[in-house]
Amino acid sequence: MPLFKFAISKKDRDSGARLGRLETAHGGVDTPVFMAVGTQGTVKGMTPRQLSDCGVGMVLGNTYHLMLRPGSERIAQLGGLHRFMAWDGPILTDSGGFQVFSLADLTKRDDRGVTFRSHIDGDLIRLDPERSMKVQRDLGSDVVMAFDDCTPYPADHAATRASMALTHRWADHSLNYFQGGHQSLFGIVQGGMYADLRDASVRELCAKPFAGFAVGGLSVGEPKELMYPILRHTAPQLPEDKPRYLMGVGTPADLVNAVSAGIDMFDCVMPTRNARNGYAFTSEGPVSIKQAAHKDSDLPLDPNCDCYTCTRFTRAYLNHIYRAGEILASVLMTLHNLSFYQNLMANMRRAIAADRFPAFKEQILQVYGARDILDYTLPDNATIEAHARNVEDHPSCG
């Protein structure tokens, strides 16, 4: 019996939303699912028990960071990432490609991989599909991501096509070096903001034996006017019987819009990072707890939330400890934001099951002042390239 299974139990009749179940060697999660980001083998400020109490069922680990510190070989010697971080649920690890794109001082990219300087100590590091697969094998995650080239934004059509071709070559190498076992390997579709390139990437990658597929290269600085229509164009083309993962996205509005396009899996640092900066997501919209308006408030952070933070502490207290610089402020805000995101996903699943997902989506979009993904039309390539040139000439426009 395979250790990795994915099954769709219901499809929304009025959108692309899907209700499903993902099973791994370390348990299963219902989809759509939001994974908490544990970059360094920890979701910042949270114990594994707190994560479970928030409703988190699956976490993401970061290949790039764990490779550099403490090192994947050390984690393997200590029993793998599950044991190392005391998390017994499913773990997905990214390939390291995005972090090379966003953090490292890139010195060389070639057909086989990248050479870059560590952001920690400046050492010269080589990362390629073979090493990415080796590191993720050492970590022992349940879902492994193929090594890819994350296309920056803005990028013209020719540069995007060349970047996509690298991703396709590295996908083949990743498959060659992947050893299976309890792990499953996902491919990553690239192609930037260009529909013809996304089509080509889908055709190329979906012909390969990946267990699931991610839509990469979004939320890298592009406006919603480009992100939403290219996502809506790409997601429905991915295989119906395999999980679809949107990497690094996003806001509550992003999540409901992407689910309506057929996405099953998400990760993003937004709920935890925003929490540490004093921002909460609530059923009534965003709340900045550091604002003076909350210093005398005996209201909970979210009157419709039953998390530990909202059932025990007032906005006045949260305002006080945040302004005092207490660590507990980040902990309590993170507890709430993760609970909110998990409740959001659970409510989406219930809405899909009850054939009322479009109404639920509209409610979230109204609360967060966002537009429906259906309102956006994908521009032609000439318009996208012109916009990219404008961003390059005037970076503040991005």
Task: Using alpha carbons, list the distances in angstroms from residue 169 to 119, 153, 204, 217.
Answer: 26, 21, 10, 17
Mean of per-residue pLDDT scores for the chain: 96
State the pLDDT at residue 2: 59
DSSP per residue, 272-293: HHHHHTTEEEETTEEEETTSGG
State the pLDDT at residue 1: 44
Q: What is the DSSP letter of 237?
A: G
Q: What percent of the chain has pLDDT over 90?
A: 90
Instruction: Give yes or no: 264 in active site.
Output: no
* Confidence band of 390 (pLDDT split at 50, 70, 90): confident
- Which helix (H) or strand (E) segment holds residue 222: the answer is none
State the pLDDT at residue 108: 85
* Confidence band of 365 (pLDDT split at 50, 70, 90): very high
352 pLDDT higher than 80: yes
Using alpha carbons only, give the angle 103, 69, 179 rounded to the nearest 5 degrees: 90
State the pLDDT at residue 396: 37
Per domain, the residue ranges of the chain are 5-31+62-268, 275-373
> Do residues 235 and 263 touch, judged by C-beta distance below 8 A?
yes
Q: Which CATH superfamily is domain 5-31+62-268 in?
A: Queuine tRNA-ribosyltransferase-like (3.20.20.105)
Kindly report the pTM of this predicted structure.
0.97
Task: For the chain, count helices (H), then strands (E).
Answer: 16, 16
Q: What distance in Å separates the CA atoms of residue 34 and residue 60, rounded to the nearest whole number? A: 10
More confident residue, 245 or 98: 245
Least confident of 74-83, 104-113, 122-131: 104-113
State the pLDDT at residue 398: 28
- Active-site annotation holder among 94, 149, 264, 302: 94
* Confidence band of 107 (pLDDT split at 50, 70, 90): low
Instruction: Give yes or no: 14 in active site.
Output: no
- Residue numbers in the known binding site for Zn(2+) are 305, 307, 310, 336
For 235, list phi and psi in degrees, rounded to 5: -55, -45
> pLDDT (tens digit, 9 = 90+) per residue, 256-272?
999 999 999 999 999 99
206 pLDDT higher than 60: yes
For 374, list phi and psi in degrees, rounded to 5: -70, -15
* Residue from 195, 331, 345 nearest 259 by CA: 345
- Residue numbers in the known binding site for substrate are 94-98, 148, 190, 217
State the pLDDT at residue 138: 99
State the pLDDT at residue 105: 60
Residue listed under structure tokens 């029993």: 79
- Which helix (H) or strand (E) segment holds residue 379: the answer is none
> pLDDT (tens digit, 9 = 90+) per residue, 148-193?
999 999 999 999 999 999 999 999 999 999 999 999 999 999 999 9
> pLDDT (tens digit, 9 = 90+) per residue, 222-235?
999 999 999 999 99
- Which helix (H) or strand (E) segment holds residue 37: the answer is strand 33-38
43 pLDDT higher than 60: yes
Least confident of 148-157, 201-210, 341-350: 148-157
For 155, list phi and psi in degrees, rounded to 5: -150, 140
State the pLDDT at residue 393: 73
- Residue numbers in the known binding site are 94-98, 148, 190, 217, 305, 307, 310, 336
